[in-house]
Chain A
């Protein structure tokens, strides 16, 4: 019996979420009274295993196959190690790559899967907590199975920092080379003229702006404040602002002195990109919006009423929209 956690790396570096996974995996192993095994697949596995050797890890298994992530290699390696170790729990990050292999592994192993878990309590069976309906509610689920898989939300557990004394073992997985997908490389997106990660003050706009025609309102405010304009995902999806303005998990992580979130509800993917701001001010009509959980100051009101007043405060003129 063990807890098996699958680490993640990209372009030669272990990703932070892997160290969070160690913390979460250790806690689950403690709840279950068992040990914690880590698996790292591909790339410089020995170097990665050294990095991942943190306090609380019992064994690190390495599968030296491929350079970067390929779900074909991952599914085969995990399924074979799973058969060998017979773990109670399979734990992965709730990352883009884990969502590319974990559901397939769970189906193939015929074990239940619960994704994006923010908390758990194990005692015989496991009860997990997750968010639903855009973070408006939390739900708990009881998973009544001898073996199961969970993916844990990034940034919910602290990173394991202390060096450990795990055993490191090469696992000889038999990988079928006919993978069905070929990874041809990576590309950074959203270079461009402005680097929002450098800005001291960000005026950030979300879905609440409603129409592209309303953007000049926040542009005028940013001008009046000498601030930089950024946005949440939907604005970029709609093509109203370029990708280099997007704050969040798939965009940029920003750490300004002041972040003014206007018409942004505060979905977890967005918060991941801006919670490091020194001071967060939110303007939103919904008093229950998750953005208020992390805001320092809030105005619960219609942005179309408040922003023009604010522009006038600084001697500007609100555009006609």
Chain B
């Protein structure tokens, strides 16, 4: 059985940051494994530990820098990795949902997985749509926002819980092959062990250009164009208590006494 996991390297923004042009300035960004994908990797690795003959392959769209993040997923137990990148992707302003789905689908078609796990969303652009768009491209079934997964590979069925709004979960059976988008909290992602990190250095990480996956640079053509990025004006009118922790805590305490929360 082969599980393909989509892994994204996401940009995290410092508390103080600068915008240059249509994106946040590189100097204000740090990169990390997307939180939702971390849970997807963990879910795949747990399945591989509980079953014989399971291969976990990660696929990432990203520049060479992303290999640090990919190695992290390998250190946590994925078997090998594919990274898709080339000059046309590098020069694209941004990659829209459709482009990402097309790139990932091309790799999925080569890999022919039994199912695909993908984080519900990415922490930076938060589209929440790539996994389901990928399923449609592949002609796979799917389930979005999965927070529990019980797999019956022999029956070709995944019994999942989908986390709806307001503390309600939907119990759904999904035919395989499928793309499942994984919600945080489904498991407890492990830390990469030192041994895992050492082993990850020796695991295969294959880089593929558009040619290699049977696409050309028209894949980056998009009717969606970013036109502006700015810091939203604060809508807040909060009263700030300032001073040492003792002083601010004193202000808050007095406020709570005034409100009758605490006496004396």
Contacts and interface: CB of A to CB of B under 8 A. Distances in A.
Interface string B170-187: 111111000000001100
Interface string B155-199: 000000111111111111111000000001100100000000000
A133 B230 CA distance: 12
B164 A296 contact: no
B232 to A, nearest CB: 5
Nearest to A101: B132
Contacts of B188: 238-239
A132 B126 contact: yes
A127 interface: yes
A183 to B, nearest CB: 5
Contacts of A301: 245, 248
Interface of B is mostly: mixed
Contacts of B168: 10, 186-189
Interface string A277-321: 001011001111000111111111110011101101110000000
Nearest to B176: A180
B230 A137 contact: yes
Given A225-B262, A288-B15, A142 B165 contact: no
Interface stretch (B65-73, B80-88, B235-243): B235-243
B109 to A, nearest CB: 15
| Interface magnitude class on chain B | 35 or more
A181 B172 contact: yes
Interface centre among B165, B188, B249, B259, by most A CB within 10 Å?
B165
B245 A305 contact: yes
A237 B185 contact: yes
Interface in B1-29: 11-13, 15-17, 19, 22, 24
B217 interface: no
A104 B101 CA distance: 11
Contact of A299 (B24, B101, B248): B248
Given A104-B135, A180-B141, A299-B240, A251 B129 contact: no
B250 interface: yes
Interface residues of A, number: 95
Contact of A297 (B11, B22, B241): B241
Contacts of B225: 141-142, 144
Given A100-B162, A137-B19, A140-B227, A298 B238 contact: yes
Given A107-B133, A297-B238, A299-B241, A116 B128 contact: yes
Contact of B249 (A142, A148, A180, A313): A313
Nearest to A249: B165
A281 B166 CA distance: 24
Contacts of A22: none
Nearest to A280: B238
B51 interface: no
Contacts of B256: 225, 258
A145 B240 CA distance: 46
B239 A99 contact: no
A145 B128 CA distance: 21
A137 B165 CA distance: 25
A237 B184 contact: yes
Contacts of A183: 170-172
Contacts of A293: 234-236
A139 B135 CA distance: 27
Interface string B122-140: 0111111111110111000
A103 B129 contact: yes
B245 A279 contact: no
A66 B165 CA distance: 21
Nearest to A72: B141
A21 interface: no
B40 interface: no
Given A189-B168, A258-B259, A296-B238, A306 B132 contact: no
Contact of A187 (B17, B132, B171, B250): B171
B31 interface: no
Interface in B111-129: 120, 123-129
A233 interface: yes
A137 B14 CA distance: 12
A251 B167 contact: yes
B130 A226 contact: no
Interface in A223-259: 224-227, 233-234, 236-239, 243, 246, 249-253, 257-258
Given A141-B226, A181-B175, A99 B15 contact: no
A74 B68 CA distance: 40
A28 B213 CA distance: 39
Contacts of A185: 170-171
Contacts of A113: 97-98, 129, 133
A208 interface: no
22 contacts: A99-B120, A103-B130, A106-B98, A114-B224, A131-B232, A132-B124, A137-B19, A137-B24, A142-B227, A143-B224, A187-B168, A190-B167, A226-B262, A233-B185, A236-B185, A258-B261, A288-B231, A292-B236, A295-B236, A298-B238, A306-B245, A309-B248
- Top 10 A-B pairs ranked by shortest CB distance? A309-B249, A237-B185, A313-B253, A305-B245, A103-B132, A103-B129, A100-B144, A104-B136, A107-B136, A103-B133
